[in-house]
């Protein structure tokens, strides 16, 4: 296929140079956006009298035909084309003759690719948002069924204070709600200013109407600096950063799912649909999907790093280095979408072993803070109450007892403020129910979180 830029040069690239230069394998997935951009551009050229209205109509009809044929699979993208922009223009010219050659008036592949990528990534943001909402819904669904399932809450991976499984899961719901917000913010900024009409770098001498194309393509307005328009890749970086944070959250939850599935915890069992066996150990049920999500997180961080390093120190305006942007940002979206698609049903179908969670909560003196609070509420200064409770814990640990196993007489030996109501105060159910401070583990707080997250996920 003849290069678009044959003229000054013969366009006959060395075989490997051609391979290095080609981006069709990556950017062909933007064919719909490339054609949408060209349709808007052709309409604007005609409206501004840069081409005739008949020519505009012919171009738009020709582009529509190419889109329909690509969608139907009757037209195949030529892998020998340099990129999707060259392919569409060459196909249009093959179909329309000389009129096709007018499409590129007042335009460059530099503003074209900057536009196509934004339009394509807008769609990716929307698809990813739906998948994030599905995971939030799944978390809400399991949380709702486990509003009274008591488990140990941990700090330093040491049993700390009792919480409910609902409270623990909804913490991830909150993280994902912020991830949704980050994607939305990045998308809005990306769609704030349209680069089309920046042309190669300095704009054009043709009397174009940039506001018209910007509006037709769903942008708020057009970018004010044409050099910025063709060389800005902030949106790719921002989106990869947002996806990196999202993956970090999924990775943290994956780690917990893996731990909770272990024989050491046995808090949950993942469905057979999301686990694998071992080729040699017949007893194994491995949490491979959660492990892969944890592993793929590194890959998305890599995509972000690729972009940041590629852009660092690049002079204005367009440089071919920037062709590397799409592979990285597309990979980040592909990876995140696949992980999210696995995550929602994996969460929704997991079996929760409430009994094992409760048993774990019964060990480790996780009601010790509540015993100290009991004393503090009776007027003992908290630091004194803390120390006294620590001594009681040490004695119980030495005797292999839990706090609730001591008799009232034994308690009274430590302090005469202890009364029979202490047992109610340190029961695990009370410890959770009385955490009524806003955002705490109490049932009313769970209800508030569920209501908020259901709103976020349109559930
Ligand atoms: N394939 C190129 C890219 O993805 C399109 C822009 C090419 N522009 C140019 N001046 N060679 O960046």
Distance 48 CA to ligand 1 centre (A): 26
26 Cα nearest atom in ligand 1 = 4
pLDDT of 285 reads 87
Which DSSP string do the residues of 294-341 spell out, in sequence order? HHHHHHHHHHHHHHHHHHTTPPSS--GGGGHHHHHHHHHHHHHHHHHH
What was the pLDDT predicted at 4? 84
- Pull the structure tokens for residue 454: 């259901």
CA of 216 relative to ligand 1 center, distance in Å: 23
> Could you identify the atom of ligand 1 that is nearest to the CA of residue 85?
5
Q: Any bridge partners for residue 153, and if so which?
A: 161
- Total-model pTM: 0.95
pLDDT of 15: 95
Indicate the length of the chain as a whole number. 459
d(CA 156, CA 74): 59
Cα(11) to centroid of ligand 1, in Å? 15
Nearest Cα neighbor of 316 from 231, 226, 229 is: 231
pLDDT value of position 282: 84
Cα separations in angstroms, 365 against 159, 337, 389, 405 = 8, 41, 10, 11
* Cα separation, 392 vs 401, whole angstroms: 10
With beta carbons less than 8 A apart as the criterion, state whether 404 and 366 touch. no
Contact 120, 239 (CB under 8 A): no
Convert the pLDDT of each residue in 338-367 to its tens digit. 999 999 999 999 999 999 999 999 989 999
Which helix (H) or strand (E) segment holds residue 344: the answer is helix 324-348
Is the C-beta atom of 22 inside 6 A of ligand 1? no
> What pLDDT score was predicted for residue 459?
82
Segments in the chain below pLDDT 70: none
Rounded to whole angstroms, the Cα distance separating 88 from 457 reads: 38
């Amino acid at each position: 296929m003849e290069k678009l830029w044959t003229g000054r040069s013969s366009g006959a690239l060395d075989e490997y140079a051609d391979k290095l230069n080609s981006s069709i394998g990556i950017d062909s997935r933007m064919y719909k956006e490339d054609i949408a951009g060209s349709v808007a551009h052709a309409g604007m050229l005609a409206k501004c009298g840069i081409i005739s209205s008949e020519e505009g109509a012919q171009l738009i009809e020709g582009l529509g035909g190419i889109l329909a044929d690509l969608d139907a699979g009757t037209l195949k993208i030529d892998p020998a084309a340099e990129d999707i922009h060259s392919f569409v223009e060459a196909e249009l010219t093959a179909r329309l003759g000389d009129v096709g050659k007018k499409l590129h008036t007042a335009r460059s592949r530099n503003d074209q690719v900057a536009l196509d990528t934004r339009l394509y990534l807008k769609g990716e943001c929307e698809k990813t948002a739906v998948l994030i909402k599905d995971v939030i819904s799944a978390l809400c669904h399991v949380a709702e069924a486990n509003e009274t399932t008591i488990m140990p809450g941990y700090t330093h991976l040491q049993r700390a204070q009792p919480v409910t499984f609902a409270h623990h899961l909804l913490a991830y719901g909150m993280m994902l709600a912020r991830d949704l917000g980050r994607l939305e913010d990045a998308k809005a900024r990306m769609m704030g200013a349209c680069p089309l009409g920046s042309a190669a770098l300095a704009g054009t001498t043709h009397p174009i109407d940039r506001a018209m194309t910007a509006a037709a393509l769903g942008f708020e307005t057009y970018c004010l600096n044409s050099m910025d328009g063709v060389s800005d890749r902030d949106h790719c970086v921002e989106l990869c950063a947002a996806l990196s944070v999202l993956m970090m959250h999924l990775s943290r939850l994956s780690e917990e799912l893996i731990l909770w599935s272990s024989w050491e915890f046995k808090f949950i069992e993942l469905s057979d649909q999301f686990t694998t066996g071992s080729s040699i150990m017949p007893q194994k049920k491995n949490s491979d999907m959660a492990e892969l999500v944890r592993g793929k997180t590194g890959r998305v961080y890599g995509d972000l790093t690729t972009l940041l390093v590629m852009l660092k120190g690049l002079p204005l305006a367009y440089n071919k280095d920037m062709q590397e942007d799409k592979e990285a940002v597309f990979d980040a979206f592909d990876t995140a979408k696949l992980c999210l698609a696995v995550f929602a049903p994996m969460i929704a179908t997991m079996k929760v072993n409430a009994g094992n969670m409760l048993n774990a909560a019964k060990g480790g003196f996780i009601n010790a803070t509540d015993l100290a609070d009991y004393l503090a509420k009776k007027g003992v200064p908290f630091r004194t109450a803390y120390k006294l409770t620590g001594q009681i814990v040490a004695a119980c640990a030495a005797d292999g007892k839990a706090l609730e196993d001591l008799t009232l007489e034994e308690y009274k030996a430590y302090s005469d403020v202890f009364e029979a109501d202490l047992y109610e105060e340190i029961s695990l159910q009370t410890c959770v129910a009385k955490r009524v401070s806003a955002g705490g583990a109490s049932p009313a707080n769970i209800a508030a979180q569920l209501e908020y997250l259901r709103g976020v996920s349109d559930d």
